[in-house]
Amino acid sequence: MRIILLGPPGAGKGTQAKTLAERLNLPHISTGDILRQNVSGGTDLGKQAKSYMDKGALVPDNLVTRMLEKRIGEPDTKKGFILDGYPRNINQAKALDNMRTQKNIDIDFVVYLDTSEPVIIQRLTGRLVCKTCGANFHIKNMPPKIDMLCDKCGGNLYQRTDDKEETIKTRLEVYKKEVFSLIQYYEASRKLHRISADEEAGIVLNKIVHLATAKAQK
Ligand code: AP5
Mean pLDDT of 57-67: 97
Which of 55, 94, 160, 164 is labelled catalytic?
Answer: 160
**pLDDT at position 217, please?**
87
What's the gap in Å between 11 CA and the centre of ligand 1?
7
State in Å: Cα 141 to ligand 1 middle: 15
- Asked if pLDDT for residue 188 goes beyond 90, the answer is yes
Q: What is the pLDDT of residue 32?
A: 96
- pLDDT attached to residue 95: 97
Per the prediction, the chain carries an average pLDDT of 95
Q: Out of 13, 18, 36, 123, which one is annotated catalytic?
A: 13
- pTM of the model as a whole: 0.96
Please identify, by atom number, the ligand 1 atom nearest to the C-alpha of residue 16: 18
Establish whether residue 138 lines the binding site of ligand 1, counting it when its CB lies within 6 angstroms of any ligand atom. yes
- Cβ pair 109, 215 in contact under 8 A: yes
Ligand 1 centroid–CA 10 distance in Å is 5
* pLDDT at position 209 over 90: yes
Does 83 contact ligand 1 (Cβ within 6 A)?
A: no
Please tell me the distance between residue 65's alpha carbon and the centre of ligand 1 in angstroms.
18
Which distant-in-sequence residues (6+ apart) come within 8 Å of 54 by Cβ?
161, 162, 167
CA distances from 98 to 57, 81, 85, 95, 189 (A): 24, 17, 18, 5, 15
Amino acid identity at 194: R
**Nearest-atom index, ligand 1, CA of 171:** 25
Per-residue confidence (pLDDT) for residue 33, from 0 to 100: 95
88 is known as an active-site residue:
yes
Residues 6 or more apart whose Cβ sits within 8 Å of residue 186: 4, 6, 93, 110, 112, 192
Distances (CA, A) of 86 to 101, 137, 214: 17, 22, 24
pLDDT at 157: 97
